[in-house]
Structure 1
Amino acid sequence: MDVEERTSKDMSLTLNLEQGQEKGTKNDDYGLASAHTIDHDSWQQVGLLLVTSFNCGWILSFSNLIMWPLGWTWGIICLIVVGLYTAYANWLLAAFQFIDERRFIRYRDLMGFVFGNSMYHITWAFQFLTLLLGNMGFILLGGKALKAINSEFSDSPLRLQYFIIMTGAAYFFYSFFIPTMSAMKNWLGPSALVTLTYIIFLLIVLVKDGRSNSNRDFDISGSEVSKVFNAFGAISAIIVCNTSGLLPEIQSTLRKPAVKNMRKALYLQYTVGAVLYYGVTVMGYWAYGSVVSAYLPENLSGPKWINVHINLIVFLQSIVSQQMFVAPIHEALDTKFLETDKAMHSGENLKRLFLLRACFFAGNTFVAAAFPFMGDFVNFLGSFSLVPLTFLFPSMVFIKVKGKTARIEKKAWHWFNIVFSLLLTIATTISAVRLIVNNIQKYHFFSDA
């Protein structure tokens, strides 16, 4: 914290295209130049952003992806242990917003400064792969919600791809008019309200269905090999429901003291936020057992108006929540292609902003429509990229930066994290690839999943 306090006195922290922000200076090769707002938001705003974003419609798939492969005992144990481990890893990473009186507003800049150019590019690839896959999952999620609404009013609903296109268009318009994380401020309150509304509605129906369903089966089906692979896939999904792989980018929006404020926001996420998405995960499995759907509303018994409201709110809320997970990609593109000496909403920058957002969402929507396997995206992004970003890299930074002065037990702990994370990455990635291969054999391009 001493480094942070010294840094906050000596450095101008922003280079920003938005009105009313100061312009700052570059910080050697890993500078603070950004087209988006930094050093501006309160911890309460960021905490609310985390709570609402992690309680998005993704939670409707976790009963199937987490509890069904693990069962009651291991499911609860893994939810608690992996949740605490993830909270600790993010708490640790928050401290590295400042190193040697330098502030790092991007994860890739931090890794590049500590380990060199190769780790800069590896981190960049891991992060952007995670965010791209996550955004495709959001588009699929929104499409499924719209199709579920259509199914309530029609015996022959439109194909899923039509609703995926509608969702991609809605995300595009939101990201064009609300281009940064800080600009989401006025949307977080309504987002939190609708989030709480659909979770309450959902829990009411789950309790009703669970009480009336006396023949629930909680057995874990499949061969022993399948059970092992599915268990690793479930662990990947637990990681996804707890972390994003973009904590330095989120933290960059916080005003000073950034480390202390980020940790306050994390406390809010891992208390209030976790109670909600863990609650839906457990209750969904309790209500339907081993037949729980990969999209929970498909199991709901009704009444019709509740099913429609839940799916409508899931769609509307996802428009806001997806923005947090894709904002670092927008930030990279905006910083490179917008004119930094003009306001973001100047005439020339508006043209460029429109083209950047249009190209991004057109490509992502097309891929999502072609490969509508939502559960696969969760497992893969939680294995191959999120495990290193969440667990491996922070311990590597600790060993490199503080290894010479740290106590032997701390160094041993972080070396254990490094080795364990590598093994977990390998195991969960194999599980995710196996699931994708199985689904490729089962589905075809542009399937009406």
Structure 2
Amino acid sequence: MQLYQLIIIFSTVPLILAQMPSFHSLRHINLVSLLLCLAYSICVTAGSINIGKSKDAPFRDYSMNGSQLNKVFGAFNGISIIATTFASGIIPEIQATIAAPVKGKMLKGLCMCYGVIICTFFSVAISGYWAFGNQSKGTILSNFMGDENPLLPTWFLLMTNIFTLLQLIAITLIYLQPTNELFEKWFANPKMDQFSTRNILPQLIFLSLSVITATTLASMLPFFGDIMALFGAFGCTPLDSFCQWFSTM
């Protein structure tokens, strides 16, 4: 199966689930996403430690490879990944503005959010880099497959990949919500019921078009991930790293 075919198949699920009307309908998805993230982190960390301590552990080199240009783009990619990871702090920030005291609730929400992220994100990053060195790939699960034979049992790899797939669906739904809110602001009629045909039909059309457009671009461009990483590094870093903490001051 080609990559573009997998992208198209995957996009059908967010295309259907993206029709959820607001953040409030995502509270259960957020909980499931958290549990999936914890399960994935535990599996990957345990797998990396197991491989690193096994007699067939791969050779580890912790030096930086590649040309200067590759290192620069790799740095942007890393910044984008970190910024996207910490972007979940936006959600408690929004929720904290609902009722006073805003400052206290926002700070507690951000601290809890970042605490979970540090436990999951850094456990995977540190254990993966320790086990594979500079041969660590963008997705550490790719390293688990080995050059010829899988380094871990097949059932373990399948379970971890399922966690990843479900987590990607949950993340996609969360990041589609600002687009949903924007379309509701532009095309919805506040005087009519939220679930009336007048409000549901524009949401269905424009949300579907946005998902289809993103899927088409991702399928056409083999370097779509690198482009998103570059723009994400510039777009997400100020929003996630500075604006939140300034708002708590």
Which TM class, normalised by the smaller chain length? Answer: 0.7 to 0.9
2:212 aligned to which of 348, 351, 362: 362
Q: For the Cα contact (< 8 Å) 2:14–2:169, is it kept in 1?
A: yes
Q: Which of the residues 206, 230, 235 maps onto 1:385?
A: 235
Q: How far 1:280 moved relative to its partner? A: 0.7
Aligned residue identity for 1:286:
W
The residue type paired with residue 370 of structure 1 is: M
Does structure 2 conserve the Cα–Cα contact (< 8 Å) formed by 1:292 and 1:299? Answer: yes
Secondary structure of the structure 1 residue equivalent to 2:217: helix
Q: 1:289 to 1:274 in 2, by over 3 A?
A: same
The answer to whether residue 44 in structure 2 is matched with residue 202 in structure 1 is: yes
The letter of the residue matching 1:296 is I
1:173 matched residue in structure 2:
16
Larger Rg computed on CA atoms = 1
Pair 1:372 & 2:216 matched:
no
* The one of 262, 268, 292 aligned to 2:136: 292
Q: How does 1:14-413 map to 2 (within 5 A)?
A: 158-176=1-19, 178-212=20-54, 213=57, 215-223=59-67, 226-227=70-71, 230-231=74-75, 233-243=77-87, 247=90, 251=94, 255-257=98-100, 258-300=102-144, 301-373=151-223, 375-377=225-227, 379-390=229-240
Query: In structure 2, do the counterparts of structure 1 residues 272 and 364 end up closer, same or farther at CA, with 3 Å as the change threshold?
Result: same
CA distance in 2, matches of 1:190, 1:226: 36
Give the Å deviation of 1:390. 4.3
How far apart in 2 are the matches of 1:225 and 1:160? 26
> Separation in 1 of the partners of 2:219 and 2:79?
27
Mapped contact 2:128–2:136 kept (Cα < 8 A): yes
- Paired with 1:341 and 1:200, the residues of 2 have a C-alpha distance of 48
- Structure 1: tracts of 5 or more residues without a match: 1-157, 399-409, 411-449
Identical aligned residues as a percent: 24
Normalised by the length of structure 2, the TM-score is 0.82
Deviations 1:23-68, CA, capped at 9 Å, x for gaps = xxxxxxxxxxxxxxxxxxxxxxxxxxxxxxxxxxxxxxxxxxxxxx
| Residue identity in the other structure for 2:143 | N
1:333·1:356 contact (CA, 8 Å) conserved in 2? yes
Q: Summarize deviations over 1:115-137 as a string: whole Å, max 9, x none.
A: xxxxxxxxxxxxxxxxxxxxxxx
The answer (yes or no) to whether the contact 2:96–2:106 under 8 Å persists in 1 is no
Q: Look up the equivalent residue of 1:346 and give its one-letter code.
A: S
Mean CA deviation greater in 188-197 or 267-276 = 188-197
Paired residues in the alignment total 239
Structure showing greater relative contact order (alpha-carbon pairs closer than 8 Å, 6 or more residues apart): 2
- Residue 337 of structure 1 deviates from its aligned partner by 0.6
Q: CA RMSD in A?
A: 2.9
Cα pair 2:40 2:163 within 8 Å, conserved:
yes
Report if the CA contact (8 A) 2:80-2:229 is conserved: yes
SS of the residue aligned with 1:293?
A: coil
Structure 2, gaps ≥5 residues long = 145-150
Amino acid at match of 2:86: N
Aligned CA distance change for structure 1 residues 319 and 162 (closer, same or farther; 3 Å): same
- Taking the aligned partners of 2:125 and 2:192, their CA distance within structure 1 comes to 46
Structure 2: distance between partners of 1:187 and 1:385: 25
* Equivalent pair of 2:86/2:240 in contact (CA under 8 Å): no
Tell me if structure 1 keeps the 8 A contact 2:52–2:130: yes
The separation in 1 between residues aligned to 2:240 and 2:32, in whole angstroms, is 30
Q: Structure 1 residues 186, 159: CA separation in 2 closer, same or farther (over 3 Å shift)?
A: same
Residue by residue over 1:240-262, the C-alpha shift from the partner in whole angstroms, topping out at 9 and shown as x without a partner, is 33236x93895157530244322
Q: 1:259 to 1:236 in 2, by over 3 A?
A: same
Distance 1:190 1:233, change over 3 A: closer
State the TM-score, normalizing by the size of structure 1. Answer: 0.48
CA distance in 1, matches of 2:65, 2:219: 30
